[in-house]
Amino acid sequence: MALSTRHLLGIKDLNRSDIELIFETADNFKTVLNRPIKKVPSLRDVTIANVFFENSTRTRLSFELAEKRLSADVINFAASSSSVSKGETLIDTVNNILAMKVDMVVMRHPYAGAGIFLSKHVKAQIVNAGDGAHEHPTQALLDAFSIRERFGGDIAGKKVVIVGDILHSRVALSNILCLKQLGAEVMVCGPTTLIPKYIGSLGVKVEHNLRKALNWCDVANMLRIQLERQDIKYFPSLREYTMLYGLNKQILDSLDKEITVMHPGPINRGVEITSDVADSKQSIILEQVENGVAIRMAVLYLLAGQQS
Beta bridge partners of 186: 160
Does residue 113 have a known ligand-binding role?
no
136 annotated to bind ligand:
yes
- The answer to the question of whether 265 is labelled as a binding residue is yes
6 is in an annotated binding site: no
69 annotated to bind ligand: no
* DSSP classification of residue 180: H
CA dist 254 and 257 (Å) reads 9
Burial of 266 (0-12, 13-18, 19+ CB in 10 A): exposed
The whole-angstrom separation of Cα 107 and Cα 79 is 11
289 vs 204: CA distance, rounded Å: 26
Estimate to the nearest angstrom the gap between the alpha carbon of 41 and the chain centroid. Answer: 26
Is 139 known to sit in a ligand binding site?
A: yes
224 is in an annotated binding site: yes
Query: Per the annotation, does 86 bind a ligand?
Result: yes
Q: Is 195 exposed, middle or buried (0-12, 13-18, 19+ CB in 10 A)?
A: buried
**DSSP type of residue 225:** P
Instruction: Please check if 306 is assigned to a binding site.
Output: no
On whether 296 is known to bind a ligand per the annotation, the reply is: no
The kind and range of the H/E element at 125 are: strand 125-131
For 224, which DSSP code?
A: P
Binding-site residue positions for L-aspartate: 86, 170, 224
Binding-site residue positions for carbamoyl phosphate: 58-59, 108, 136, 139, 265-266
Binding-site residue positions: 58-59, 86, 108, 136, 139, 170, 224, 265-266
